[in-house]
Structure 1
Amino acid sequence: MIGKASTADEIVNYLRSLRSEEAIAGMERFGIVTETALGISNPDLRRIGRLTGKDHARAFTLWASGIREARMLALYTLEPKRLSADAAWGLAADFNSWEIVDNAADIFVEAGLVGLIPDFAADEREFVRRTAFAMIAGAAVHLKKEPDATLIAWLDLIEDHAGDARNFVKKAVNWALRNVGKRSHACHAPAVALAQKLSESTDKTARWIGKDAVRELTD
């Protein structure tokens, strides 16, 4: 059995022993990238992470394996407060799945790396750009002490990239807009105003983002 003293190789071998072809097929139906997947659910990976404990260096060795489950476990077992901006960029360069992005985005927010949001948004790679908006969505919920003004300022990024028609970007932009609008009374009005503006756009993607956000934020 694995534990806190287990090496990355021992953990990877344990993960391989849990491989399930049936579970892999099920993951594909949710749009999860399964090229390196072993079919282990995220709740089970979190349980494994509790057994192995946090180990920052080992987490990056797990990430380097390229295995989907090892990478998810790496995110669950690295130490956010030790995560540097350079290391976050190194992880982001490997992103190839909405699932990895959304979990990593929460870690980046916890690590206090929200300053990377504009840079991630400016990056042309689909999953790196998604990271920016997944971070905004997460920050709107989890950063309770962050001034509302910070969230409101990010609305400019949302507007700037509302025309990106790529599936995993547009959904994250929409998610970010909705979460900013739901954060507080102060955030609600400017978010609704932007949503209404986008809903009247001549751009198909921006119009979809706006209409969907208006529907939720005015419900």
Structure 2
Amino acid sequence: MSIVIALLVFIILPYYLTGNVVVYTSNGYKLTIENKDDSFSNETRQHLIDTYFKVMPEMNAYFGQNKRDARLTIDPGYKGAAVTTGSNIVLSAEFIRKYPESYDAVTHEFAHVVQSYPKYDPSWLVEGIADFARYKWGVNNKKGGWSLPDFKSDQKYTDAYKVTARFLVWLQRWKKRDIVKRLDRALRSDTYKDDSWKAFAGKTLDELWKEYSEKPDI
């Protein structure tokens, strides 16, 4: 009986609002999908749904948040890959059709939902933490051909995304295990400053980057 109950808790239940809007719920989480592309793959849709219900509880637990509601719009007219505003995500139908295994792009966007910082500043760090989240919780990165890049001497910590994410992974391994959580809290409370790095890791950002560049193993 206990096994049956445990399985029921994680069943994803869909219900329809209109023809192209479906709401999925499971274990207190809700995902609304609006599909504007009639030819969108059902298999890809299921990957997106499964990814949401797997990674959101993990990211919430890690960052001490309780973001349980998101809306994902599949838009054939959007020319980028994906973008998030608040809890609303727009995913390019063209992008995901061209790269169907790259559905962890939404893991990056779900991280933005969890972040919900009062400011998008510094943008390079916000995006770096989101790619750190994709690196840590992504469910299909390998098949999707996504990985953190090797260090190169012309990189800068302000390059954002993968480059900054790799730096954060290095900091977490070699400097402070909770450095990403502390940076996240500072951004969330709008108390982040340039000297936060010294308070959190004992050195300035430039000093940490220099040390990283000399021995960038992660």
User: What is the TM-score with the length of structure 2 in the denominator?
Assistant: 0.31
- Which structure has greater helix proportion? 1
User: What is the TM-score with the length of structure 1 in the denominator?
Assistant: 0.31
Identify the structure with bigger relative contact order (alpha carbons < 8 Å, sequence gap 6+). Answer: 2
- Which structure has greater strand proportion? 2
